Amino acid sequence: MNNSTSLITIFIGMVLINNMVLTKFLGLCPFFGVSKKLGNAISMGVAVTLVMLLASLATAIIHNYILIPFNVEFMNIIIYILVIASLVQIVEITIRRTNILLYNALGIYLPLITTNCAVLGITLINASAGFSILQSIVSAIGAGVGFTLVLIIMSGIRERLEIAEIPKSMRGLPVAFITAAFLALAFMGFGGLL
């Protein structure tokens, strides 16, 4: 992808067409684990979006000003995962010190995010697409919004599935997967948007 790709194109592409969960299969653990209640889904979505944004900013700076000039791009996996892990720690400590209400809402989700493939995924996608720092930020926000959107839709469906009559062996995860399949099918309709 070249540098002339407009920011709006990147944003819409990440939210609807290349949705993190439904087409890239990233962040499935929180998607199936946290999508049982609407409130949790929103908190998780906000936390992931925040970390994605910060991680993309940090790794884009490192990628453009350290890895490329020194020609050590092959080190990106190790460097990115360390940056993300320390970033999550910093965010957790900062939120705990400054806003205890927000910490209570997001706190338990933050440690889980370190090993969330969506965060490492978005930084790798940005790097492989050759995005500039601004483009990386926009694509991270898009990915986060897309993740939150799908998580909210899924939690709404699952709240209804709880009371639906489902064959015994389909209850829980299997039916969640099948629901996700039809959600993904619906999102494929956005494919011709751009």
Partner 1 sequence: MSQLKEISPGKKFWVEFVKGIVVTNPVFVLVLGLCPALAVTSSIDNALGMGAGVIFVLLCSNIIISLIRKITPDMVRIPVFIVVIATFVTILSLVFEAYIPPLYESLGIYLALIVVNCIILGRAEAFAQKNPVLYSIADAFGIGIGFTVSLLLVSLFREILGTGSLSIFGFTLFSIPVLSETPMAFFIMPPGAFLVLGLLLALFRWLGVLKNE
Which three-class secondary structure state does DSSP give residue 165? coil
Identify which of 21, 41, 76, 55 has the alpha carbon closest to the alpha carbon of residue 141.
Answer: 55
Q: Which is nearer to partner 1, 81 or 102 (CB)?
A: 81
In the complex, least distance from residue 53 CB atom to partner 1, rounded to whole angstroms: 18
Residues in contact with partner 1 by the rule CB under 8 A: 22-26, 28-29, 32, 74-78, 81-82, 85, 115-117, 120-121, 124-125, 128, 167-178, 180-182, 184-185, 188
Nearer to partner 1, 105 or 187 (CB): 187
Q: How far is the CB of 20 from partner 1 (least distance, A)?
A: 10
CA distance 108 to 95: 12
Angle at which helix 117-129 crosses helix 133-161, to 10 degrees, equals 140
CB of 99 to partner 1, least distance (A): 26
Q: Which is nearer to partner 1, 128 or 132 (CB)?
A: 128
Tell me the closest approach of the beta carbon of residue 24 to partner 1, in angstroms: 7
Q: Specify the residue, 32 or 103, whose C-beta has the smaller distance to partner 1.
A: 32
Q: How far is CA 92 from the centre of its chain?
A: 17
- Judged by CB, which is closer to partner 1: 90, or 100? 90
**Cβ pair 60, 126 in contact under 8 A:** yes
Rounded to the nearest whole angstrom, what is the least distance from the CB of residue 29 to partner 1 in the complex?
7
Nearest to 63 by CA among 133, 142, 137, 113: 133
The DSSP secondary-structure symbol of 14 reads I
